[in-house]
A and B are shown apart, each in its own frame.
Chain A
């Protein structure tokens, strides 16, 4: 079960092109949502203002090599290893969700576009990676949802009192949970149950990618840019924090 392509089985009731069109629509939804989010929050404008201020406050100019080195540090520390998290449990959970989501997303796209039906046999490694991605996402996600959400862990709110900030994690967990459930139900051979669970999978996935304007999915794109800017400010002397701290970091 874990080494067979679940999307190839869909050809029993859905043409392969339908899922391919769906993926394209979701990519467009993420792009439109990210742009709408940026316009609504004026984040690009405020970021440009911050850059201008920091350039004016800089005590020294950084060379191209220094900037490249800071960019590499940002990719290694903030992006690849979520180094900005001070809480170890949150860092591990975030990394599980991050790598799980990326693996789940990439393998889904590969399976839908390169191996849409049984006519093109799927290498076993791709569905296996898809399953590993989903499982990583589920472990990291439910750990975060039940134990690590700061409004629950520190502010004392009930676990199931959902707020706007939960839109991303709930839709993400919904998508991954129903993807996994759909694969299991599909393997049992019950077509009606498969259609129902697959319907929920599509519903949560559409909510996940269609709600970017209101959820925090777009933080995947903004976070590295802001982290790089912070490093540039510290290195150029534009940071307002005490200098002894900047010398150490």
Chain B
């Protein structure tokens, strides 16, 4: 069920290009609008659908799997921190769902680029980048030497 773009709604902001984990959302050289360059490689993660500020991306169901005339649309509401779905069946029935997706305000989580870049000396550290501050702890728990199992002498 690959994604496709409604060209009249897309304003070419590139949010989908940034977020696509398969790197298959690119910019069309004729109209400077987003498009899916390789639908076969789309794993229907809906990341671009939810990230698109213009709601210009939709997912097309394969005809043998989803009947023609159906519609599955979704919106990520950053203010309410919810995902909303609208499912339209071929017989005209509609279902609306709304699910919470997080408990902290949108944008409150620091991204990797907000932290200071690691220095050359950090290459010898056992800690990964931004640890332990990135984990919201003062110090990583670790076994002390006397807690280690003694080998057979």
- Chain A interface (Cβ within 8 Å of chain B)? 84-87, 90, 149-151, 153-155, 163-165, 216, 226, 230, 240-245
Contact = CB atoms under 8 A, between A and B. Distances in A.
A150 B32 contact: yes
Nearest to B12: A150
Interface stretch (B80-88, B120-128, B135-143): B80-88
Contact of B17 (A84, A90, A150, A244): A150
B29 A85 contact: no
B2 interface: no
Contact of A163 (B30, B71, B75, B88): B30
Nearest to A149: B32
B18 A154 contact: yes
B141 to A, nearest CB: 40
Contacts of B22: none
A225 B32 CA distance: 20
Interface string B48-65: 000001110000000000
Given A150-B14, A150-B32, A241 B73 contact: yes
A155 B17 contact: yes
* Most chain A Cβ neighbours within 10 Å, of B17, B18, B85: B17
Contacts of A165: 28-32
Size category of the B interface is 20 to 34
A164 B29 contact: yes
Contacts of A85: 11, 13
B96 A243 contact: yes
Interface of B: 8-9, 11-15, 17-18, 26-32, 53-55, 71, 73-75, 77, 84-86, 88, 96, 98
A171 B74 CA distance: 39
B54 A84 contact: yes
B24 to A, nearest CB: 12
Contacts of B9: 230
B14 A153 contact: yes
Contacts of B98: 242, 244
A245 B13 contact: no
Contacts of B71: 240
Given A164-B29, A230-B9, 7 more contacts: A87-B13, A150-B32, A151-B32, A155-B17, A163-B29, A240-B73, A243-B86
Given A150-B13, A150-B32, A230-B9, A242 B26 contact: no
A154 B53 CA distance: 16
A150 B35 CA distance: 13
A154 B27 contact: yes
A29 to B, nearest CB: 21
A87 B18 CA distance: 14
A5 to B, nearest CB: 36
Contact of A241 (B15, B17, B55): B55
A242 B13 contact: no
B67 to A, nearest CB: 16
Contacts of A151: 27, 29, 32
Of all A-B residue pairs in the complex, the 3 with the closest CB atoms, nearest first, are: A154-B14, A163-B29, A242-B84
